[in-house]
Amino acid sequence: MGILLILIGIAALFEILGWVFKGDTFLFNPQRLFIIVLQVSVVGLLAIAVTQVIITGGIDLSSGSVLAVSAMVAASLAQTPENTRAVYPALTNLPFIIPLFAGLCVGMLAGVD
């Protein structure tokens, strides 16, 4: 119950700060809610997977690191030619399936024992 009250307090604080600095609602803005949901979805999916690992008796804290490495590989391959600081300049403008597949492969390779 205490955590719920803290969450409500933080929401009220951000709502007040939104009105003071932006002159607009912070929490009831559809665009901001959409961005919040997108940001939290990755962490939520990771939390569900880690919860299953912990429940089955194995404690694995490397899932965050594996997620970061997989996302880094996928993002470095998903760059456009207009980017002057591309990680791999020769591999820009690839079809979306290649960075997606590369990120999944890196995640699977990290999970192999």
| Residue 66 near residue 111, CB atoms below 8 Å | yes
The pLDDT score that the predictor gives to residue 39 is: 87
More confidently predicted of 113 and 78: 78
User: To 10 degrees, what angle do helices 63-77 and 97-111 make?
Assistant: 150
| Residue 104 near residue 71, CB atoms below 8 Å | no
The pLDDT score that the predictor gives to residue 102 is: 95
The pLDDT score that the predictor gives to residue 113 is: 66
pLDDT tens digits, residue range 76-110? 999 888 888 888 888 888 899 999 999 999 999 98
Confidence class for position 6, pLDDT limits 50, 70, 90 = very high
Q: What is the mean pLDDT of the chain?
A: 86
Q: Which residues contact 33 (CB under 8 A, 6 or more apart)?
A: 27
As a whole number of angstroms, the distance between CA 107 and CA 27 comes to 34
Domain ranges for the chain: 29-111
Residue 39 half-sphere exposure toward CB, CA atoms < 13 A: 6
Residue with tokens 């089955």: 56
pLDDT tens digits, residue range 32-66? 888 888 888 888 888 888 888 888 887 777 778 88
Residue count of the chain, please give it.
113
As a whole number of angstroms, the distance between CA 79 and CA 103 comes to 14
